[in-house]
A = this chain, B = another copy of it.
């Protein structure tokens, strides 16, 4: 089975502390590497956790609050200094391009690789990347400024051929292709071969959804329904419910409620406010609502 792994690089909110870095995650879906958000210090975290800079071809920025992107310009210039030549694609709110280009201009830096900027639509769900193994969409969240979540979904795989049984038959490559797609086939003598006789179901495609930052909002549910792993921000505990409403963030209990209503398999909490020292408090408030809840922790790899 292909890898589908999430590495947490930063799970703090607003101001970085000695304990928690600003938001950033590295996602590996079948050896496609996506950097999701890029708070200050992300390049140092990437080095710390031995993530290969060269494998990174796509960076997604959910919104333009600094704790989600202030580390980007440093990473882009480090790519340059390290000799990168291949194209990089950045999916981000439209104004990001101006911010990056102004900083390159004032330092007289002319990158020796090309950046393609893909503007995110903050209003509706949009397919932003697709290849034979994976598709990625953005969808609107509910924050103080335009902010999008991201959904990563494996493509449906062809059916598994049972090799031992196939070897006993005389079947052409073209007919095998039909079997993989789920159809019945014919052997070289023209005899019918039932699909169910020669194939088994492929693994169910897996999916990961990233929701940060956002106010509790049930309109998000349709975009993340049934995902295997949901990362949902959980900046506050119940004691700061009013502040969550005011700053358009969520509490642990609200994140758990979204997870439950969206019938996801696992919930991962992060974006913890620096006012909380002990993260287990977030679990205490989330688990009674949604049992399969985990805490983001820097350097930890979660398998989807």
Kindly state the separation between the CA atoms of A40 and B46 in the bound complex, as whole angstroms: 14
A174 at the interface (CB under 8 A from B): no
Kindly state the separation between the CA atoms of A63 and B113 in the bound complex, as whole angstroms: 24
A48 at the interface (CB under 8 A from B): yes
Contact of A40 among B41, B66, B81, B99 (CB under 8 A): B41
A64 at the interface (CB under 8 A from B): yes
Pick the interface stretch among A10-18, A118-126, A162-170.
Answer: A10-18
Assess A70 versus B66: contact at CB under 8 Å? Given A47-B18, A108-B145: no
Query: Is the pair A18, B44 in contact by a Cβ cutoff of 8 Å?
Result: yes
For chain A, the bracket of interface size reads: 35 or more
Query: Is the pair B40, A74 in contact by a Cβ cutoff of 8 Å?
Result: yes
Query: Is the pair A15, B40 in contact by a Cβ cutoff of 8 Å?
Result: no
Looking at chain A's contact residues, is the secondary structure mostly helix, strand, loop, or mixed? loop
Query: Is the pair B102, A99 in contact by a Cβ cutoff of 8 Å?
Result: yes
A103 at the interface (CB under 8 A from B): yes
Give the residues in chain B near A21, CB-CB below 8 Å: 44
Kindly state the separation between the CA atoms of A15 and B71 in the bound complex, as whole angstroms: 12
Task: Give the residue name and chain of the B residue nearest to A93 (CB).
Answer: B106
Query: Is the pair B103, A66 in contact by a Cβ cutoff of 8 Å?
Result: yes
Query: Is the pair A106, B99 in contact by a Cβ cutoff of 8 Å?
Result: yes
Give the residues in chain B near A217, CB-CB below 8 Å: none
Give the residues in chain B near A16, CB-CB below 8 Å: 43-44, 74, 78
Query: Is the pair B40, A106 in contact by a Cβ cutoff of 8 Å?
Result: no
Copies in the complex: 2
Contact of A145 among B41, B47, B74, B107 (CB under 8 A): B107
Kindly state the separation between the CA atoms of A47 and B40 in the bound complex, as whole angstroms: 14
A73 at the interface (CB under 8 A from B): yes
Kindly state the separation between the CA atoms of A103 and B47 in the bound complex, as whole angstroms: 26
Kindly state the separation between the CA atoms of A164 and B95 in the bound complex, as whole angstroms: 70
Query: Is the pair B74, A73 in contact by a Cβ cutoff of 8 Å?
Result: no
Query: Is the pair B106, A15 in contact by a Cβ cutoff of 8 Å?
Result: no
Query: Is the pair B15, A107 in contact by a Cβ cutoff of 8 Å?
Result: no
A14, A15, A48, A81: most-surrounded residue (chain B CB, <10 A): A15
Contact of A71 among B18, B40, B145 (CB under 8 A): B40
Kindly state the separation between the CA atoms of A109 and B210 in the bound complex, as whole angstroms: 24
A98 at the interface (CB under 8 A from B): yes
A144 at the interface (CB under 8 A from B): yes
A sample of 28 cross-chain residue pairs with beta-carbon separation below 8 angstroms, ordered by A number, consists of A14-B78, A14-B81, A15-B43, A15-B78, A15-B81, A15-B82, A16-B43, A16-B44, A16-B78, A17-B44, A18-B47, A18-B48, A40-B43, A40-B44, A40-B70, A40-B71, A41-B44, A66-B103, A66-B107, A66-B109, A70-B70, A70-B73, A93-B106, A98-B102, A99-B102, A99-B103, A102-B102, A107-B145
